[in-house]
Amino acid sequence: MVSVLSIKQLMEPGSIAVIGASRNPSKLGAIILRNLVNLGFNGRIYPVNPNASEIMGLKAYPSVNAIPGDVDLAVIAVPAPQVPEVMRDCAEKRVKGAVIISSGFKDAGEQGMWIEEEVAEIARKAGIRVFGPNTTGLLNTSRRLATTFVPLPQLRQGDVSIIAQTGLFAGAMLEWLATSQKFGISKVIGLGNKCDVDDAEALEYLGDDQDTRVILMYVEGVRDGRRFIEAARRVIKRKPIIVLKSGRTEAGAKAALSHTGSLTGSSRIFNAVCKQLGLIQAVSFEEMVDLAKAFTFLPLPRGGRVAIASITGAGCVLAADACTEYGLKVAQLSSKSLEIIQSNLPPWTKASHPIDLEPLVENMPKAVEAYRLTFNVALSDENVDCMLAVLLAAHENWRNTRFWVSDEELRETFIEIRREHPGKPVAIHLIGGKQAVDRWSEILEEARIPVYPSVERCAKILAALISYAKTREASIRS
């Protein structure tokens, strides 16, 4: 009987063998090696290739057995039919874990399924933990570890971790996050066909991981429903779990079967489980990113009463609709708050809530002062739990107007607002020209205020924060 190693040990390997490393830069094995070198993995890297003595300046070995030192993790990128032999070598070498990148297993029909079972059996007997096959495997920003075949940019370290049954996330999605988002990643666990490590075990690991505060999951099918539910029930008390489930329809389920060989199960049951446990369901990767941003940047609100301010009247109306439709309650501002707003308005305009920012901007010396006043008044109001605002990203082209705000004013003001009101989440929708919207988004999100391309998406994330706050409160009480 071999003892079963925990995922934790494999996420922090001291040495990695890349089996199928290639000198041809377009081969998967070459990209995996390049990523490890470029990210600056702080352990030993051993390329394995019977036809090369050196790759990317590293000494290459004909087989994993020929490597002189210990090998903690083997990354396998050779065609499926060769994998059983490679796994036997790994067993002999007493490798601790393996990531099988290659596809052509359970995802490719019956013959592949037999190969997968053979490989899993060899690994099990030798006590080798396996990720995959058919996966991009592992990523750990604190160790500069990545086993993906997608060329990676430098990654921002953060507290969002991802469990994905697909290479998409550990691959192109990571590239998207790295180049478009201001939040950082801690770990990624690619599961692929899940011949050994599955969703439940990955979830248990991330639940205990000190560097992880928000968990994202892309799920086609759950392998062990009971264990998954137990893990989720335990973890959700401490960390939000955002789940994107695919294979929700018959056509989707059929596609999932040929993607990762997954049986997707009943959507109705999955939805009911999510609802009961308080898992946060996303309908797309886009929404998953919306939610990740909200949960990593923002505090959990104490209730669902939302303050609304908008630079356009239409924004006030649309935001009030969206908040109501997502189950938030448009706050009743205190009379004191309304009096302060009124005292800064021209006499012919009456203060009301939602707050129309336009007349305030017209009446005050600087637009940024109108914003500062409004956010401070609304967020100090004891009838307000959170806030949604629509601002005009006014950049160079607006320089000669009252709406113009400099980068410095914007940054200082919103850092201050966030600091002064640490317990109340704020979501912002920006209107204006693309360049200005991009620039303002960058500044606001560096201040940990998330920006969304519609008031509907602002309302949706606020509703998710509120819902999770309730889940957590209930779990503490119980």
Contacting a second copy within 154-183 (CB under 8 A): 164-169, 171-173, 175-176, 178-180
Choose, by CB under 8 A, the member of 117, 121, 286, 446 that binds a second copy: 286
By CB under 8 A, which span of 6-14, 296-304, 411-419, 428-436 interacts with a second copy? 428-436
Cβ proximity to a second copy: between 316 and 426 the closer is 316
Angle at 60 between CA 56 and CA 65, to 5 degrees: 150
By CB under 8 A, which span of 13-21, 54-62, 245-253, 368-376 interacts with a second copy? 245-253
Cβ proximity to a second copy: between 194 and 259 the closer is 259
Within 221-240, the residues that bind a second copy by CB under 8 A are none
Task: Give the total of residues touching a second copy (CB under 8 A).
Answer: 84
Choose, by CB under 8 A, the member of 14, 252, 265, 303 that binds a second copy: 252
Cβ proximity to a second copy: between 43 and 433 the closer is 433
By CB under 8 A, which span of 39-47, 207-215, 413-421, 433-441 interacts with a second copy? 433-441
Within 80-119, the residues that bind a second copy by CB under 8 A are 80, 104, 107-109, 111-112
From the CB of 393, what's the least distance to a second copy, in Å? 8
Within 393-422, the residues that bind a second copy by CB under 8 A are 397-398, 400-402
Within 295-314, the residues that bind a second copy by CB under 8 A are 312-314
HEC profile for 391-445? EEECCHHHCCCCCCCCHHHHHHHHHHHHHHCCCCCEEEEEEECHHHHHHHHHHHH
Cβ proximity to a second copy: between 171 and 425 the closer is 171
Within 317-376, the residues that bind a second copy by CB under 8 A are 317-325, 330, 348-350, 352, 354, 356
| Cα distances (angstroms) measured from residue 3 to each of 124, 126, 128, 206, 477 | 10, 10, 10, 21, 37
| 190 sits near a second copy (criterion: CB under 8 A) | no
Cβ proximity to a second copy: between 23 and 472 the closer is 23
Cβ proximity to a second copy: between 67 and 330 the closer is 330
With a CB cutoff of 8 Å and minimum separation 6, the contacts of 419 are: none
By CB under 8 A, which span of 5-13, 223-231, 279-287, 376-384 interacts with a second copy? 279-287
Cβ proximity to a second copy: between 91 and 455 the closer is 455
